Every structure is written in C-alpha cells, then in structure tokens.
Amino acid sequence: MKALAKDTTGPGLVLTDRPDPVGGPFDVTIAVLRTGICGTDLHIESWDDWAAGVIRPPLIPGHEFSGRVVEVGDAVTSVRVGDLVSGEGHIVCGVCRNCRAGRRHLCVHTLSVGVNRDGAFAQYVALPEQNIWVHPADIDLDLAAIFDPLGNAVHTALSYEMAGEDVLITGAGPIGLMAARVAKHVGSRNVVITDVNAERLALARSMGVDVAVDVSSDSVADAQQTLGMREGFDVGLEISGRPSALVEMLENMNHGGKVALLGLPTERFDIDWASVVGRMITIKGIYGRQMFETWYLMAAMLHSGLDVQPVITDRLPAADWAEGFDIARRGAGGKVVLDWSTL
C-alpha cells in the first residue's frame, strides 16, 4: 500500500510503499478514504522537540480519518465489511483502574494512533474493534474524517452547562471554530472568540460568533463592552495554548466562572492564583474525547442540525500532501482534508 511515513529521525515525510496492515482476531481493517491534518502531524513532520522525544520511526502518522471496512477479525461482532467508519485514536489498556471504572479517556496506559503505532496516512489502517465508530451510510466523507477534532471541541465545550451563558473561546483554529458552533447550538447567549489571524477571525464571523477579537489590536474587555456585559464570562474555553490567552481569559471571567483548557502550552508561565481563588474560578484540563460518550453527543448534535462543514476549508488529493501540510502550517484557514481514494 501507499503510505505517508516518517522513516527516519529529522524533518520530513515520504510517500512510500509499505506492507498492508495485518489485523488480529479483534481488529478491523479499513480502506482509508479521507484524512484530516492535525497539529500533531505537523509536529511529527517538522521534527520539533516534542516529536524528537516521543516518536520512534519508522511510523505512519495520521489519526483523523474516514474509511470503508474491508476485513474484520474472527472475534469481531459489531462491525461489518462495507461499514463507513472512523476511529477513536486513543487505544486503552482496559485493565487499569480508570478503564475498569468506565473512564477509558483517563487510561494511564493510553497509546495514540499515528504517534505510538501506525496511523491513517495510508491506503489501509487496522484498529481494534472497540475503537471503531460506525457512521450512517450517507454521512459526508470529509465530515466523517474530522470526528476526532470535532470530539475535542465537543468534549471541551460541553464540560460545563452552556445554555444561556456567555462564552469566551481563545483560539480560532478548527477546534475553536467548531467549539463556537457547538456553544451556539446548545443555546449559549454570547460567544466571543479571539485570535491574531485575520482570515480565521473572518471565518469565525461567517460561522456565527457574536464577536471575533483580534487580540493584537483589541482586548476581550472591549468585546464585553460591545456586548453590554457587566460581570464577565461564565464559561471559558482555552484552545490556543498561548499563555497570554489564558491570562486574559482569567481576567475576564465572572465570579464562579468555569474554564476548560484544551490548548497545550509549550512553556511554563505564571497566573494570578489569588484571583482564581478569590473569584472561585474552576479550571479543568481536557484531553481527547470521552470514550464514547463524546462520540454519541457529536452524532446527536449533527443529527439535530449542528453544522461544522464550513470549518473544512481545503480539500486536496493525498498525493498533494506537502501542499496540504503547508496550508495547515500557515494557520490561516480551517481544516485541511486529504483524499486517499485518488491514489
């Protein structure tokens, strides 16, 4: 099969030939149709400090995908050949305390598809049956391919009650944009999003946020004034990973406000803990998706009218992966999807 692989340490990927994956009795083999490009994939391709410390080549990256099942193991019972599927990218041990208690997203032995084992930047990928999500037959293939990042957005956004609340989102990348759509879908009053990229802020406005703030020239406090808010935001979703974004968010939270952190900072930084305590602000870290509650919530909201299609701004053949990576790295648009059916 053709695969986009990291064969050696150092920058770069190569589109090369690899053996087809061989699934075991509990595995499902999938012909990949679409893949999304994630920030994790950009780290692996550029071979930054994180990648150098985590990735062990040879490896096929990629964990956002949709595809058609072509083979199932003898012990597989709930997935059939021909099903249109995506996959939960976190493979858990099943026997640690959290797994046994039904909190699989907190497994202490989690392995990540496309990071710790071969992923979906290939014509075929094999995953355990327990990681497979079967889609309705008529779902758009591009949309099905981004259920993983949509799950990040849903997990983050629905960490707290949102109906009737004022919501601040820092970071207007694809996950931030989808989180904004989720917030509006479940009945938030005002949704404000921040970034420094004019194109992404324009996309956010087109997707229905109430105010999109360019924090290189304006402030979150200005947005509050524009909206006539007097007491601060009720819910904050920090998705940028930038220290300055969290600091400004905390400064603009209401007493008793609740903050969910999905963005990963690359450095340590100080925050005003006395203010957090004095205003009784709740801060919660978010990683991945709740397995599989988040997936059911995604499917239900899409069925009831949630539209995140506008976040997919670029679609390219898999052979043009380098161009796709360049577009994603520039950070000016939404989600980039590669079409593997063209190989």
What is the domain partition of the chain in residue ranges?
A: 2-146+308-342, 153-285
pLDDT above 90 (res 249): yes
Answering whether pTM is above 0.75, one says yes
pLDDT above 90 (res 202): yes
294 flagged as catalytic: no
Per-residue pLDDT, averaged over 90-97, amounts to: 97
| Catalytic one of 29, 35, 40, 156 | 40
289, 152 in Cβ contact below 8 A? yes
| Catalytic one of 29, 35, 43, 194 | 43
61, 321 in Cβ contact below 8 A? no
pLDDT above 90 (res 131): yes
With vertex at residue 168, the alpha carbon angle to CA 164 and CA 174, rounded to the nearest 5 degrees, is 110
Question: How many whole angstroms separate alpha carbon 268 and alpha carbon 158?
Answer: 27
Query: Using N-to-C axis directions, what is the helix angle for 220-227 and 243-251, rounded to 10°?
Result: 40
CATH fold match for the domains 2-146+308-342 and 153-285: no
The two structure tokens encoding residue 251: 């400064």
132, 113 in Cβ contact below 8 A? no
pLDDT above 90 (res 226): yes
Kindly report, residue by residue over 11-67, the tens digit of the pLDDT. 999 999 999 999 999 999 999 999 999 999 999 999 999 999 999 999 999 999 999
CATH fold of 2-146+308-342: Quinone Oxidoreductase; Chain A, domain 1 (3.90.180)
CA neighbours closer than 13 Å in the CB half-sphere of residue 66: 22
126 pLDDT band, cuts 50/70/90, is very high
Say what the pLDDT of residue 251 is: 97
CA neighbor of 66 nearest in space, from 84, 39, 83 = 84
167, 144 in Cβ contact below 8 A? no
72, 28 in Cβ contact below 8 A? yes
Per-residue pLDDT, averaged over 5-9, amounts to: 97
Backbone angles phi, psi at 194, to 5 degrees: -125, 150
pLDDT above 90 (res 140): yes
43 flagged as catalytic: yes
Task: Kindly tell me the sign of the dihedral angle through the C-alpha atoms of 272, 263, 166, 155.
Answer: negative
Say what the pLDDT of residue 266 is: 84
DSSP character at residue 60: -
Kindly report, residue by residue over 271-299, the tens digit of the pLDDT. 999 999 999 999 999 999 999 999 999 99
CATH code for residues 153-285: 3.40.50.720
The rounded mean pLDDT for the chain is 97
90, 109 in Cβ contact below 8 A? no
